[in-house]
Structure 1
Amino acid sequence: MFKQTQGLTERYPAQLIVPVFDFFAIVCACVIAFKFRFGTFDLHERYVLATALIALFAILLNSMFGGYSRWRTTPVSTLVARLLMVWVAVGLLATSLIFLADASVRFSRLWVASSLLLSYIIAAGGRVLAQIILRKARMKGRARRSIFLVGPSSQLLQVARSMRAAKGEGYSIVGVERLYSGFNEQSLPNIAARIEMSGAREVWICVPLEMGGAVRSIFYALRNHTAEVRFIPDFQGMQLLNHRFSEVAGHFAIDLSVTPLSGMARIIKRAEDLMVGSLITLLITPVCLLIAVAIKVTSPGPILFKQYRTGANGRRVKVYKFRSMRVHKEKEGQITQATKNDQRITPIGAFLRKTSLDELPQFYNVLQGRMSIVGPRPHALAHNDYYKDLVESYMRRHKVKPGITGWAQVNGLRGETDTLEKMERRVEYDLWYIDNWSLWLDLRIIILTVFTGFTNKNAY
């Protein structure tokens, strides 16, 4: 039998090493900050207690938010961003405790801030350095994890290609067992023996959903083996959205299409909308007043254009825009998109649409909670009825609140969608945003919108 050997990362896993590193990073940072503030390394006992509490909070929160798990497959940017959220939470907890204990006069605010900043730099720097070293080692064939693949040839080929494209994750194929449509359970002992001889650390069962029955048989055949077993179902051709595993009513479930904005993420998203939206509303109020006067003076009719759009979870919401067209009537159930040289658009309206200034009133929709600053752009109800049967997963873009700007818009997909292909691309970008949502992605989109998203040749 092939003897299994453990690599360095298996003998000393991140779940064991990184908490210890974080503890020493915080202790060192607190001592250095004390020297910087008071000129001595001899910490007073109350600062020793504060240091211990900060370290405890950091390790506990990191454990709760998965900061010490999935290091092999988690991008370093995600590790650093997740760590920043934890450190912000630690800072809030520490300052809250000091305030509640009425001990603010006994602690230096400069020491608290310096300790948190320096410890974050050390902890984040250590993660970046560790990931760089591990990635280089894996690219050279070290610190790799041996994998045995089981499944139909087409699925195994896809998985193998993905593994080659992600060499930095450190997986190596040590054996393959191809399954055919007429799967014969009599071959299971031979499969188990081959896996045992290969010395694989993990077995990946890669089969389409229609071969799900084979999973149980293979899993049972490996009941006496110590290799880790993973089921990698084939969802090819299915438009998944934030797919993940969960447990419902005591049963494990594969979530194929769920919103990522639930629980804490929903709170963070709403806080982002309120804080950023309030600040922007204050800044744009003088501009909005000037636009309102210009619209009223240059053409008869209301200042605002109000229209129902589809909001989160399919609910109808009223969305506001500055009126950019002359007052006219559409046929019932019909919404005609604006086109180039559209005679309905007023002179001031053409400028507003070109610069996206007509959408400024939607920040009021954000404060109301009907919209978000970042999200899929809301389409007219008639457009939803038209495209929902033509574009796969079109309505899944309504699992989150519509946004003033979005991932599709900063990638140039603004303005008229006069072809089905354009709408398909817009939906593709919207679903990618929903599937990959994070606070940092929102901030990136906002920044890109400021520099590139206000004007577009396709907006008219």
Structure 2
Amino acid sequence: MATLSVRRSSGRRRFGIRSERVVGDIVTVVDFVLVAGVALLAKWLYIGFFLSSQQEAEPYLALGVLAALIAVATFRSQDLYSIERLRQFRGAARRIAFGLGLASVIILSGGYLFKVSAEWSRGWMIIWILGALLVVLFNHYLASRFIRSWIKAGFFARNVAVYGSGEIAAKMLEHLSLADANQRIVGVFDDLTRGATPQVLLAGGLSDLIQTGQTVRIDEVLLALPMSDEHRLSKLVTQLSVLPADIRLCPDMAAFQMRPLGIVSYDGVPVLELVRKPLGDWAPFIKAFEDRFFAALALLLLSPLMICVALAIKFDSRGPIFFRQRRHGFNHQVITVLKFRTMRVTQDGPVVPQASKNDPRVTRVGKWLRRSSLDELPQLMNVLAGEMSLVGPRPHALAHNEHYSALLETYANRHRMKPGITGWAQVNGYRGETDTPDKMRKRVECDLYYIENWSLWFDLKILLLTPFFGLFGKNAF
């Protein structure tokens, strides 16, 4: 019999479970109060004390409250208030700085549009933002210290009993032992038929489990049995309902490869959800508005630059200004993508060699355009046409698509969303030549992460990071 180490709990310490959601909400409220309060404090220190001005405090408090709302919403969109994020202070500074930076940009933009920004003291705003950054960072540092100590003390731990002793139970226990899970296994129970051999160490049968649950706090009972054993499962649920505990069905072996996203009800019948359609509910309308609005604004603002680039291409080498290439778009539909021409040849056949370092096909102007990604600007017209998005997986030539689809199993999953001009892969440095499957695999991983975690704030984050991390790169030739 194979035995697995099980983290047992004596269960005698009957402290209640501290809610992770409550802790996250408390940190959220403290962040809000700190950001708004520092705005008022900065007003008193700089305007009242340093400048000796008798301005009203209400406008500055109102700005602080508005900025706090934007900052906290941005923090939440980055999952900054989950226990896993809060316990690890590493990376918090970047997320907090991004949230406060976005809040200040929106406040300044609104003040400029309504012509009231001239009334705000620049010194006050600098002190406010820097002060808010410091106090919010300190708040998250304290939270991380407390939460780590609470986790170590078991304040968030769930006492879990497992019923079942076969392959499913063994696999689940192995998974829990390897994962950074916050569970205590109080014991494994099963009522075996004569001659059956358990694959894990047993603490007793069903009666022992119920007796344990009546003397020791059990928060959850995992039924590690085949889903096909309906009669036994139904009977067990009825018998275990006497315990004040969650009863959950551990998935069959296939679910270890296909991680479910949740459970939905089909007219009262529970169905395990394995894959979720991206951009549900209002998301398609929000993303479409975002694309059309920002693409039109970008074309308006960048039209002088695009005209200069077009003239430079025309004077530099013979050929058209624009390069058109067929690529796969949403749901594998073929679209024609526009780019500024950067090569002396325009290839769109069954074999399209990727650009490499010192590629003789690249023109003098084209080399600069490719390094700066300015050759992608005409794709704003693809966005206005609804064929592309501002943010999404980068589209590849048809020949490259066929090549990498055969090499990477999840490559084609990128087409579940419209392709983008920029993306999560690009701001993480995965742009340019992909001469090895490993490079493309990293890019695909980023693309799939973006698809699974899309939000408006995620898009705005990528758009804000693109000028700093997504334009220039050593791999762009």
Length-normalised TM-score, structure 2: 0.65
Specify the SS of the correspondent of 2:337: strand
Q: Superposition pairs for residues 33-72 of structure 1, below 5 Å?
A: 33-36=42-45, 37-39=47-49, 47=58, 54=65, 58=69, 71-72=82-83
Q: Name the amino acid aligned to 1:130.
A: A
Give the whole-Å Cα distance in 1 for the aligned partners of 2:305 and 2:122.
35
Conservation of the 8 A alpha-carbon contact between 2:295 and 2:390: no
Matched, 1:361 2:380: no
Specify the SS of the correspondent of 1:395: helix
Encode CA deviations 1:111-157: one digit per residue, 9 max, x unaligned. Answer: 9968974567545542342123312453x445341331535211221
Match of 2:398 in 1: 381
Give the whole-Å Cα distance in 1 for the aligned partners of 2:206 and 2:344.
73
Specify the SS of the correspondent of 1:173: strand
Q: Tell me how far 1:365 sits from its aligned partner.
A: 3.9
Q: Tell me how far 1:38 sits from its aligned partner.
A: 3.6
Give the whole-Å Cα distance in 2 for the aligned partners of 1:25 and 1:199.
38
Matched, 1:226 2:244: yes
Q: Name the amino acid aligned to 2:257.
A: G
Encode CA deviations 1:169-210: one digit per residue, 9 max, x unaligned. Answer: xx24232427799999x9544444445555344445667877
* Residue 367 (structure 2) aligned to one of 310, 326, 351: 351
* Residue 289 (structure 1) aligned to one of 306, 310, 315: 310
Match of 1:320 in 2: 338
Conservation of the 8 A alpha-carbon contact between 1:58 and 1:86: no
Conservation of the 8 A alpha-carbon contact between 2:431 and 2:475: no
CA gap of 1:191–1:272, structure 2 versus 1, over 3 A, is farther
Match of 1:336 in 2: 352
Unaligned runs of 5+ in 1: none
Specify the SS of the correspondent of 2:313: helix
* Residue 126 (structure 1) aligned to one of 115, 118, 139: 139
Matched, 1:135 2:156: no
CA gap of 1:341–1:143, structure 2 versus 1, over 3 A, is closer
Conservation of the 8 A alpha-carbon contact between 1:324 and 1:349: yes
Match of 1:145 in 2: 157
Q: Tell me how far 1:277 sits from its aligned partner.
A: 4.7
- Between Structure 1 and Structure 2, how many residues are aligned? 437
Give the whole-Å Cα distance in 2 for the aligned partners of 1:116 and 1:214.
63
CA gap of 1:115–1:260, structure 2 versus 1, over 3 A, is farther
Q: Name the amino acid aligned to 2:243.
A: H
Unaligned runs of 5+ in 2: 1-9, 163-167, 199-203
Give the whole-Å Cα distance in 1 for the aligned partners of 2:229 and 2:35.
51
Give the whole-Å Cα distance in 2 for the aligned partners of 1:90 and 1:378.
34
Matched, 1:302 2:315: no
Conservation of the 8 A alpha-carbon contact between 1:375 and 1:403: yes
Give the whole-Å Cα distance in 2 for the aligned partners of 1:204 and 1:446.
49
Encode CA deviations 1:312-367: one digit per residue, 9 max, x unaligned. Answer: 34444321123345557876xx3433476999935548736863657333453465
Q: Tell me how far 1:398 sits from its aligned partner.
A: 1.5
Give the whole-Å Cα distance in 1 for the aligned partners of 2:21 and 2:12.
19
Specify the SS of the correspondent of 1:235: helix
Q: Name the amino acid aligned to 1:395.
A: A
* Residue 237 (structure 1) aligned to one of 257, 268, 277: 257
Give the whole-Å Cα distance in 2 for the aligned partners of 1:188 and 1:64.
45
CA gap of 1:53–1:271, structure 2 versus 1, over 3 A, is farther
CA gap of 1:416–1:127, structure 2 versus 1, over 3 A, is closer
* Residue 409 (structure 2) aligned to one of 369, 389, 392: 392
Give the whole-Å Cα distance in 2 for the aligned partners of 1:80 and 1:230.
38
Give the whole-Å Cα distance in 2 for the aligned partners of 1:9 and 1:338.
55
Give the whole-Å Cα distance in 2 for the aligned partners of 1:55 and 1:329.
52
Give the whole-Å Cα distance in 1 for the aligned partners of 2:240 and 2:81.
24
* Residue 5 (structure 1) aligned to one of 9, 14, 21: 14
Q: Tell me how far 1:44 sits from its aligned partner.
A: 10
Conservation of the 8 A alpha-carbon contact between 1:319 and 1:365: no
Give the whole-Å Cα distance in 2 for the aligned partners of 1:284 and 1:395.
35
Match of 2:186 in 1: 175
Q: Name the amino acid aligned to 1:175.
A: V
Q: Tell me how far 1:162 sits from its aligned partner.
A: 0.8
Match of 1:449 in 2: 470
Conservation of the 8 A alpha-carbon contact between 2:43 and 2:124: no
Give the whole-Å Cα distance in 1 for the aligned partners of 2:208 and 2:239.
10
Encode CA deviations 1:412-453: one digit per residue, 9 max, x unaligned. Answer: 564255x766655543342234334524456456533345x2
CA gap of 1:153–1:329, structure 2 versus 1, over 3 A, is closer
CA RMSD of aligned residues (A): 5.8
Give the whole-Å Cα distance in 1 for the aligned partners of 2:33 and 2:346.
69
Conservation of the 8 A alpha-carbon contact between 1:309 and 1:380: yes
Q: Tell me how far 1:32 sits from its aligned partner.
A: 1.9
Match of 2:165 in 1: none
Percent sequence identity is: 21
Match of 2:201 in 1: none
Specify the SS of the correspondent of 1:320: strand
